[in-house]
Chain A
Amino acid sequence: MPTAWEEILDLGTRRAAAPPPQAEEERRGVFRRLRESLSKSRRALAEEISASLFDRIDEQAWERLEEALILADAGVPTTAAVVERLEHEVEAGMVSADGEAVHERLIEILAEVASTGRGPIDLSGEPAVLLMVGVNGTGKTTTIGKIAWHLSKELGLSVVLAAADTYRAAAAEQLAEWAERADADLIRSVPGGDPGAVAFDAIEAARARGADVVIVDTAGRLHTQGNLMDELAKVRRVIGKQLPGAPHETLISIDATTGQNGLRQAKVFSDAVEVDGVVLTKLDGTAKGGIVLAIANELGIPVKLIGTGESLEDLRPFDPADFARALLSE
């Protein structure tokens, strides 16, 4: 069973309204089925390929596994740790030296690593405040649009979006379009305005309107830009002053094509704003996003959501086992 939305969203005492039945029908009709069949065939393919990893359990098999994990961007330390562990278990007779069993165990180990620190997205606050951060172009704004759509259209929650990217050209316009699609309110300021002030205003507006969730979009920035990281920390402080305990959830978007630098990104952003989870975007491409294994393994920051396209419904709860299987597919 893939991870369900209810497992990944903690709505607290808030009751989600049942989604309008027609919309539900529609989605099931068109997208869900397509996606389900797609992921099924993908999974079948993945299993076939990774099962053949262990046709024979010899030195080459371990090398093939190592290669597969490196090619998935899991990085050298994490790859070495996983292979070593599996090899040890096989040698110690803890896993029967049968291709299928070894393969199953491998998926388990990978899923276990990917599950490090796992927990739901905390949306129990009144209002709940979600802060979105990350490097330029990784998919923050798009992800916010998708989350807002899910909360608003599928769960019937009221959402306020804060356009705190006051820097990039047309960033607010971009978020405005998503707000419209998701039927969410938008708080914005003038280009070059103070991002903290936008977040502040959005929370105030959400309180006044009794809205459920505030999602704060921030400008993309490289983690190496100290002044911009300071600015981000300041935005976080402003949010915390406005509403003690907020932001209740801080997510970093990591592009699935990212290589080993993703680890630095997660580390530095987390140092600056205490990241609770990762949104792994662009998994609809061919990149496996294995860097999140390293992020979970070395930093204990779990993936919570995955992005699988550019439309509103292309967002799903992260499922460690599914991810583990896909990691080894061709």
Chain B
Amino acid sequence: MFDQLSDRLQETLSEVRSRGKLSEADVDAAMREIRLALLEADVNFKVVKSFTATLKERCLGSEVLGSLDPGQHVVKIVNEELTALMGGVSRDLTFAQSGPTVILMAGLQGSGKTTACAKLARHLGASGKDVALAACDVYRPAAVDQLVTVGEQAGAHVYEQGTDRDPVEIASWALDRAREEGRDALIVDTAGRLHVDEEMMAELVRIRKRTKPHDVLLVVDAMTGQDAVGVAESFAEAAEFDGVVMTKLDGDARGGAALSIKAVTGKPILFASTGEKLEAFDRFHPDRMASRILGMGDVLSLIEKAEQQVDERQALDLEEKLRRDQLTLEDFLQQMRQVRKMGPLSGLIGMLPGMGAAKQLKGAEVDEGELDRIEAIILSMTPGERANPGMINGSRRKRIASGSGAKVQHVNQLVKQFDQMRKLMRQMASGKMPDPQQLAQMAAGTPRPKMRRR
């Protein structure tokens, strides 16, 4: 999508460079492309309309930076405006001064509430909180069983009373218990409901009034289309939700719903759910979402940072090599040095295109000591070995290890990681989204576990 949008913009604006300024006709043409890209990303039609209006203002007459082509320049403005619309920094939950923090979860059927409850419980548990879950979905068959199972996996206490009681009563009973037992947090799971189902929405209001939650979270599927806005507006009215949990962000949906909901209700997205495992859940980063909607990771900030460090020639060179799959360990070394100048590596990984979804990597600490070791290992290689890592056999590995003061296994690991990285680059060059798990392993340097499933 980014490639497409960026290419299309470049094509549309190819004449502009010589003029150095964007004319009204240029901007209109660009706006059309942007409008299409946003609609393809499921951003709500009405939001797109007002957004492109704002955008047009900003683009009109704006100077085209000499070093960038006009297309990139417009993409940059789009990204900035999208980020602003998504709302600067991410916000955290509101915690109770005393007694349990109550969090009420609500949403449509199938949006992923029960799983999100367990993930949130684990997330809070990881910071040392004693968390309980209240099973208030008495309607969907086996919903209580499901919460009991995943709740236990998350290390939370599950308060359930079967399916014969009124969910409002169960919620209230659970809160009493959480107080008595001195829990730090109570997460209330509710049945999925349609925003137009008056009876069910009234029930939600009653649960909210009875439990007085510190935060009400609306759980929204990242794949939601144009309807997201109407749904969010109705839930805002009845549930007065404070923030959103976006689920299934590990898929390839662009997630325009996130932007639409933020734009229309003003409610921030607090958490992102990004995978099968309970750990695949984290604070949401609005800026990354903006880029995702355009489909480009934080490619822009990467461009910006790279611009500060690398001259354009060198960047083009590297890009060409990546494209042709001719990356060598020498390039890797140069690149690593460049990148290290830009700041801690952990931040950079998430900026690569297609890796926005790999939330596992976000928190990944990159050990700078290990980077020193990698440098040392590569420096102990001959130029031939750097250019063609395939030739590094057993005896060469031993030599390199002793030369760099590392263990043979470290050399093995590096060669392997480099190989994985090349594969990944090949995938990305062919437009495929890299598998986040593969990325995580690459970062962690461990071989992929052989699992039958999940």
Residues of A within 8 A of B (CB): 67, 70-73, 75-76, 135-139, 167-171, 173-174, 176-178, 222-228, 231, 255-262, 264-265, 282, 284-288, 290-291, 310
Contacts and interface: CB of A to CB of B under 8 A. Distances in A.
Nearest to A169: B149
Contacts, number: 142
B40 interface: yes
B225 A258 contact: yes
Contacts of B195: 285-286
Contacts of B139: 310
A190 to B, nearest CB: 13
Chain B, interface SS category: loop
A264 B112 CA distance: 20
A222 B109 contact: no
Contact of B225 (A169, A224, A257): A257
B40 A75 contact: yes
Interface residues of B, number: 48
Given A169-B149, A282-B110, A287 B251 contact: no
Given A167-B453, A257-B231, A259-B253, A177 B224 contact: no
Contact of B145 (A72, A170, A225, A257): A170
Interface in B217-276: 221, 223-228, 230-231, 248, 250-254, 256-257, 276
B36 interface: yes
B128 interface: no
Given A137-B109, A226-B435, A173 B142 contact: yes
Contacts of B142: 170-171, 173-174, 176-177
A169 B146 contact: yes
Contacts of A167: 453-454
Interface of B: 36, 39-42, 45, 108-112, 139-143, 145-146, 148-150, 153, 194-196, 221, 223-228, 230-231, 248, 250-254, 256-257, 276, 433, 435, 451, 453-454
When A and B form their complex, which 6 residue pairs have the shortest distance between CB atoms, in order from nearest?
A259-B225, A137-B110, A259-B42, A169-B149, A170-B145, A177-B141
Contacts of B453: 167, 227-228, 231
B258 to A, nearest CB: 12
B110 A285 contact: no
Contacts of B112: 136-137
16 contacts: A76-B40, A136-B110, A137-B110, A168-B146, A170-B143, A173-B141, A224-B250, A257-B231, A260-B253, A261-B254, A282-B108, A282-B194, A284-B194, A285-B194, A286-B231, A290-B225
B45 A67 contact: yes
| Most interface-central of A67, A225, A262 (chain B CB within 10 A) | A225
A17 B153 CA distance: 47
Contacts of A72: 226
Nearest to A77: B40
B252 A224 contact: yes
